[in-house]
Chains A and B, each alone.
Chain A
Amino acid sequence: MWEYTEQVKEHYKNPKNVGSIEDADAIGEVGSINCGDALKLYLKIDNNGVITDAKFQTFGCGSAVASASILTEMLIGKTVEEAEKITNQDIADLLGGLPEQKMHCSVMGREALEDAIANFKGEPTEKKVKGKIICGCFGVTDDKIREVVRKNTLNTVAEITNYTKAGGGCGKCKDDIQKILDEEMAKRNNGRKEKPLTKTQQILKVNKVLENYVAPELRKDGGDIELVDIEDNKIYVNLQGTCKNCPSSNLTLKNFVENILKEHMGENIEVIEA
C-alpha cells in the first residue's frame, strides 16, 4: 500500500478537468501503454497567450491521475511563459509530496506540458527523441536522465529509476545510468571536488578499508584477506586462511567484501579474486 497524501487521494478520487478539448490549441502526449503509463494534455490558449482551459486523459496509477489533475488546475489562468516554468517538483509539492517510487508520475506531467508547449509554438514534436536511448525497456534517453538528474539534484541510480523508470525493467542499463550519473555529479561538483585519487592513494584507501572493516570480520571465522592489485575499477584480492577453501568464498567476496568497498570507494568498483 502506497502512502498517498490527502491531496493525492482527493485528486485520483475526483480528478479535475478530465477529458479532451475538441479545438485545442496545444496537445501534449507522453508515455505508452507498454510502459504502464501514458498522458495526453489538451490546452486552450487565447490571443494573449493565456491558458484558458486545460484537460487531460491518462492511463496510469493513482499518483499519475493526481499529478495530471493538479497540473491542469495549475495551468488554467497562467500564460504560456509562466507555465513553462512549472517543474515536476512543483507538481509533487502541490500534492503534498509523492512516494519516491512514484516521482516519475510528476515527471510525466512536466513532460506532457513541455510537449504541449512545443506543439503550441509549432516546434516539431514528432517523437523527438533527443539523445541516445539508454533504457530500452522504458525508452529513456541519456538527455532525459541528465535533465532529471540536474533539475532534481539526484544522487543515486535508484533515484533516477524512481524519477524516470530508467533501469526499472531488466536492469541491464544500470551501469550506463551510473556512468551518466557520475558525469553529472562531477559537473555538479566541478570546482569544489577534489582531484581523483592517484593509484597510490587508491591502494592506501582500499587497504585501510580492508583492514578496518573487512579483515576483522573474516578473522572471526579464522580467515583473512590481502590486497593484490588495483587496475582501474577492478580490485584484486586474495582470500586467506579458512576463507580460502570455503565453498561460500565467492559469496563472501561479492556480497560482503564488494559491498563494503562500494560503500567507501563508489558504486562502480568490482572485487575479483586474484
Chain B
Amino acid sequence: MSKNIIYLDNNATTKTCDESINAMLPFLGEKYGNPSSMHTFGGEIGEYIKKARVQVAELIGAADPQEVIFTSCGTESSNMALRGLTDPRKKHIITTKVEHPCVLNVAKHLQKNHGFEVTYLTVNSEGQLDFEEFKDSIRKDTALIAIMWANNETGVTFPVEELAAMAKEKNPDVLFFVDAVQSAGKIPVNVKDTEIDMLSISGHKIHAPKGVGAIYVKKGTLITPFMLGGHQERGRRGGTENVAGIIALGEASEQALKYLEDENTRVKQMRDRLEKGILEKTFNARVNGSRFKRVPNTTNISFEYIEGELILLHLSDFGICASSGSACTSGNLEPSHVLRAMGIPFTAVHGSIRFSLSRYTTDQEIDYVIEKMPEVIEKLNSISPFQNELKELKEIKTGVKN
C-alpha cells in the first residue's frame, strides 16, 4: 500500500506492539526449546512462560497466576468454557443475543447436538440487559452463564461483576463465564474481587500477535479440558505451548496495563471528538448503543439510508480502515445480529460503521477522518433512492425547512 493507513479497526485486530515483537523474537530464533523437555535447554523456557503467566494474571487481576491457561485465541477460550461443562444433570445455559459468534455458535451447537437448553437474554435499544429477566432466567439446573464484558460491535459494556454476584446469590453452583476479549486493556479488570469463574482474552486484540489467547479459570472450577493431549498447562490444555506467542501475550498484557490510563483519557477523548465531529457534520448519523456504558475506544455510528459496505469502500480509498454491520460485508445476507437485537431500524442497521481506536491513534488521524467523513457521506447520500426520507431527516435534524 502506497498511501498512509489510518487504522480505526482495532476491535477487529491490533498492531502488534514493538515490545511484544522484541520479547518474542528470541523464541522464534535461538530459544527454540520445548518447555516440556527434561534438558535445561528446553526446560528453562518454562521460566519465561511462568513470567508471561504472571503478566497476564496482573492484567486481569487474578489471585494466582496458575489460574491463567494459555490457548490459541479467544474463540478457543470460549469453546473451552462452554464445552467443558461436566455435570450431566445440568443442561441449561444462559447467554445473550448479542454475544460474539464464538459463544453463540457454540451454544447453538450444544443446544442442537448435546441436549442443552439455552436462554438468550434480550437487550434494550441501549444494548443493556434487563436485570429482572436475567435473574428470572437462572434455574436450579443452570450450568453456565456466558456474558460478554464489552460488545465487539458497539463497545457497550455489561455490568458482569454485578451480574455474577446476582447469579451466585440465586444459584451458588452456577458457573459464570465472561468473554473479556473486547474489555481487557480498555477498562480495569480485577477478577479476584468478583464472582466470575472464567474469563477469556485474546492476544491480537491487545497488541500481541494473532494465534494466542488465554482463559482465566478460578481455582476449584470444574471443567473438563477441551483440547486433549499432553500434560501442558497442568493437563488443562494439551498441545506444545506457542512459546513465542505466549511470551508476546505476556509482554502485551504488561503494556496494556501500563496504557490503561491512556486508553481512558487520551484515547477516550479522541473517540468522543471523532463521534462529535461526525454527528455535527452529517445529519443522518446516529450513535448505536449506550454512550455512557461503553469501552473508551469504540463508537458505532449509523448513517441512515446509505449502505455500510459502500461507505467502507470509499473510506478505504482515503486509507481509512473501519468496519460495518451491514449485510453486504458479512457474506451472509443478514445484517448485524447485535444491532437487530437492539431494535435498531433497518434504515440504520445497514449503514452502521464501527470505528475502534487504539493507543497508536493520533489526533491528526482523527482530524483527517472528521474532515473526510462528511465528504463521503454527502456523495453517497446523493446516490440513495431515499431522497425524500433524507430530506425529511435533514429538516428534522437541522430544524430548517428547505
Question: Which A positions have Cβ atoms within 8 angstroms of B?
Answer: 12-13, 15, 18-20, 29, 33-34, 36-40, 57-62, 64-65, 101, 137-138, 161, 165, 168-169, 250-251, 254
What are 16 A-B pairs at a CB distance below 8 A? A13-B314, A13-B317, A29-B385, A33-B305, A33-B386, A36-B328, A36-B350, A37-B328, A38-B386, A59-B384, A59-B385, A61-B307, A61-B309, A61-B329, A137-B333, A168-B334
> With contacts A18-B383, A33-B305, A59-B385 known, what are 4 further pairs, Cβ within 8 A?
A57-B384, A61-B329, A62-B310, A64-B307
Contact B385 A57 (CB under 8 A): yes
Separation of A57 and B390 alpha carbons in the complex (Å): 13
Which of chain A's residues has its CB closest to B347's CB? Answer: A33
List the 8 closest A-B pairs by CB distance, nearest first.
A168-B333, A61-B328, A61-B309, A57-B385, A40-B385, A36-B327, A34-B346, A62-B313
Contact B335 A36 (CB under 8 A): yes
Interface string of B293-334 (1 = CB under 8 A from A): 000000000000111011001100100000000111101111
Interface string of B107-142 (1 = CB under 8 A from A): 000000100000000000000000000000000000
Contact B307 A57 (CB under 8 A): no
Choose from B113, B307, B313 the contact partner of A59 (Cβ within 8 Å): B307
Contact A59 B386 (CB under 8 A): yes
Which of chain B's residues has its CB closest to A31's CB? Answer: B385
Question: Which B positions have Cβ atoms within 8 angstroms of A?
Answer: 113, 305-307, 309-310, 313-314, 317, 326-329, 331-335, 346-347, 350, 382-387
Which of chain B's residues has its CB closest to A29's CB? Answer: B385
Min distance, Cβ A237 to any Cβ of chain B, angstroms: 18
Which of chain A's residues has its CB closest to B346's CB? Answer: A34
Q: A20-B387, A101-B331 are in contact. Are A61 and B346 (CB under 8 A)?
A: no
Separation of A148 and B383 alpha carbons in the complex (Å): 27
Contact A138 B333 (CB under 8 A): yes
Which of chain B's residues has its CB closest to A99's CB? Answer: B331
Separation of A251 and B115 alpha carbons in the complex (Å): 12
Min distance, Cβ B112 to any Cβ of chain A, angstroms: 9
Separation of A59 and B310 alpha carbons in the complex (Å): 9
Separation of A18 and B382 alpha carbons in the complex (Å): 8
Q: Which residues of B contact A37 (CB under 8 A)?
A: 307, 328
Q: Which residues of A contact B331 (CB under 8 A)?
A: 101
Q: A33-B346, A61-B326 are in contact. Are A39 and B313 (CB under 8 A)?
A: no
Q: Which residues of A contact B113 (CB under 8 A)?
A: 250-251, 254
Min distance, Cβ A120 to any Cβ of chain B, angstroms: 19
Min distance, Cβ B352 to any Cβ of chain A, angstroms: 12
Q: A59-B306, A59-B307, A60-B307 are in contact. Are A36 and B385 (CB under 8 A)?
A: no
Min distance, Cβ B374 to any Cβ of chain A, angstroms: 18
Q: Which residues of A contact B326 (CB under 8 A)?
A: 36, 61
Q: Which residues of A contact B306 (CB under 8 A)?
A: 59
Separation of A101 and B329 alpha carbons in the complex (Å): 11
Contact B383 A58 (CB under 8 A): yes
Min distance, Cβ B324 to any Cβ of chain A, angstroms: 10
